[in-house]
Structure 1
Amino acid sequence: MTYSHTLALAKQGDSEAIKVLLNQQLKTKNITVKVALKDPAWQLLSNPLPLGEFLRQPMMKPKFFADGLQLVSPVRSQTNVGDQAKLVLANPKNVWLLASYNSKGGGNSQSCGHAVQGDQVTCKLPASGSYEMRLFTSTESQGEFNYIGQLEFNKS
């Protein structure tokens, strides 16, 4: 099978083609993949979720999980709110959290305040509309913070 043929099959959902492409990419890292399309084990979660719920989760960067964080609420990537966007996290490593927001689709990024070492981050949203809240972490209260993911909030 040629690469382009394998890619075309993978785009159509062929689990064997997906496995071949993933294994080609991960071979140098000594990782081997087994794929079963629509099999909950494919999620790589200790407690697999139903497909719809899995697809509505926020897509966080690996650093989010490496920092030991777990999203408590909201559990969906898009949430309707009043005046404030609020994230509640399990933060067992007590990393420093920093957040910013901007209007979805552009606009200047605004800080949600100073870095906090706790389990929640809150951003006061200025007006009705859709906003992207970006989350950052660090082991220090000041200095370089690393981007770990984002969520969308709709203020009515």
Structure 2
Amino acid sequence: MSVSGNPVEIGLFKLGNTYYRIKKQRDVIKTYDELIEKFPMGDLADDAYFKKGEALRKLGDYKSSSITMESLRKLYPSSDFIGRSHTLSGDNYFDTGDFDNARIQYQKMIEMLKLPRDTVAVVPIHGIMKSIQRKDGEKRAIEYADIYID
């Protein structure tokens, strides 16, 4: 990664990435929180928010992960992480049994994509299908699948 900017910001980002790679989730969160606090409008802040949300999810703190994703979307509306933040929030809601909100988040990700060319859509479409299946049954999920299958 070639990033220009404040050396402290870059150092915190690289340290957070190191913790991320070795799966030290609490250190990931602490390091990215420091980066976000010191450089809220820095070039790496949105990335730090997203990885913090992933770390919170890995710790099973789904609510805090979703709140972090909401903050990311609010503070950095043009971030490249917006779509993925909807998928992560959808996964958080799904894993807590809130299938309605899971479906809403997955749908927001799909609306950002250019179907059918964008194969990234498979992940949120799968999430929508599983949410419908869990809430309304397999028959309803199959009926809904026709929207995406030509």
- Give TM-score, length-normalised by structure 2: 0.28
The structure with more radius of gyration: 1
- Give TM-score, length-normalised by structure 1: 0.27
More helix by share: 2
- Quick one: higher RCO (CA 8 Å, sep 6+), 1 or 2? 1
More strand by share: 1
